[in-house]
Structure 1
């Protein structure tokens, strides 16, 4: 079983924000994720921007090693990538031998406009029950649902 951790990535130097370097951070995370997965079975997700200015990455750690998994130590591959593969773009932002800081945070509230899975399953169940019936009222309702589905698939 995997335990999910949310980690905020920040530059150690306050002159630059992580959100300003999001594309390079994403490439660095992709590179680091291969190493983490092959060594520890740790899954590093794609870094994302939340609250318009924070860069957060989700890490899924196997339950057996979650207690000893040091986030900062294991994510140093991201900083290494930025320093070694970005043509010196980030060299000036090293502060006290550090380029990045990693802070574990509570999982952010994700806003979702989608229908909850329970409601979706209930809708499927109700439609299946409707399909079992063959009376005129059921056929009329099925026809209306099919029209709505066809209109939705066009847009």
Structure 2
């Protein structure tokens, strides 16, 4: 039995939207899908546009490997394809070594993440710097953030926090 997962594809650099490169992304997914199907029996559907600017791809994973199948590392072939096939076109959109970001969404229309990738990375960086400190102010701030995360996890049924 195959388990379906909907994955939103975004560029790591928020100055470009995935919708602007939908045809290239579709070609990259087509290329990556052959490898994933032959190795893992994972099926990747053609990326589709949802809403005004979201690109969602449905991935069907065999039930026996769904718990251990890491989406991001297995979809890196899409970004590799874009960087190799369209030499120079996407290099300017690399953030570190990352071109694309893959986020699992419950349903295609449920992902209303309005935070730019740069803002998300900046938040993670600031939190990491806060964790390096051990003064009372930092400890209080960390405690407040953890309380907020736990509350949000309960409201949105997010597991693992």
TM-score normalised over the length of structure 1: 0.69
Return the offset for 1:87.
2.3
Q: Which residue in the other structure is 1:2 paired with?
A: 2
Q: Does 1:42 align with 2:45?
A: no
Q: Does 1:82 align with 2:82?
A: yes
Give deviations 1:132-151, integer Å, cap 9, x for gaps: xxxxxxxxxxxxxxxxxxxx
Q: Which residue in the other structure is 2:128 paired with?
A: none
Aligned equivalents of 1:15 and 1:37: distance in 2? 32
Give deviations 1:63-112, integer Å, cap 9, x for gaps: 00000010001000000000011121000000011000000001236xxx
Q: Which residue in the other structure is 1:132 paired with?
A: none
Aligned equivalents of 1:25 and 1:9: distance in 2? 9
Return the offset for 1:52.
1.6
Tell which structure's C-alpha radius of gyration is larger.
1
Aligned length: 109
Aligned equivalents of 2:94 and 2:77: distance in 1? 15
Moved over 2 A (4+): none
Unaligned regions of 5+ residues in structure 2, if any? 110-161
Unaligned regions of 5+ residues in structure 1, if any? 110-155
Q: Which residue in the other structure is 2:27 paired with?
A: 27
TM-score normalised over the length of structure 2: 0.66
